[in-house]
Amino acid sequence: MSPLVWYGLLALAAIGVVFYFVRKIPAYVAACALLVMAFAGLTLPFFGQRPSEWIVLTAGLLLCVFGLLIVRVMLVRSVSLRLLRSIDEGHAERMSEDIGGRLADMRGFRLIEITDGQCALTPFGRLVGGTIAAFYSLFRIAV
């Protein structure tokens, strides 16, 4: 393997460490941006020798950072994880706040409407739900 690939693997490992230890999303983005910029800066001399490899590795690192950012957002916003944490900490009253927050999000995106204390999908919510169900079926994702 070329030294450029080793640098790429080192940068990937550093991104993994940042993902594991840095919990706040802005700090994660900043730290990973610094890592990718450091990789690009340190390996810039390789650009003249292997430009396509350098571009692919840099783009791959950026896509990895973005993918892990999506995972981080999912973990932070997960109702199930928040409910489990509330139960573990003995704060059952937080459970209704978390669920209420997700319902407020769905109302804000016009996915549901609440009338007489009952939640119902809006036409847009049905469209989104149908689209997601089609993708689940297409990609054989078990529900």
Q: Which pLDDT tens digit goes with each residue over 24-74? A: 999 999 999 999 999 999 999 998 888 999 999 999 999 999 999 999 888
- Whether the full predicted model's pTM is greater than 0.75, yes or no, is no
Q: CA–CA separation, 31 vs 39, rounded Å?
A: 12
- pLDDT above 90: percentage of residues in the chain: 53
What is the number of residues in the chain?
A: 143
Q: What residue spans define the domains of the chain?
A: 3-77, 79-108, 111-143
> Long-range CB contacts (< 8 A, 24+ apart) of 76-83?
76/25
Q: Is residue 106's pLDDT more than 70?
A: yes
Q: What pLDDT shows up at residue 93?
A: 73
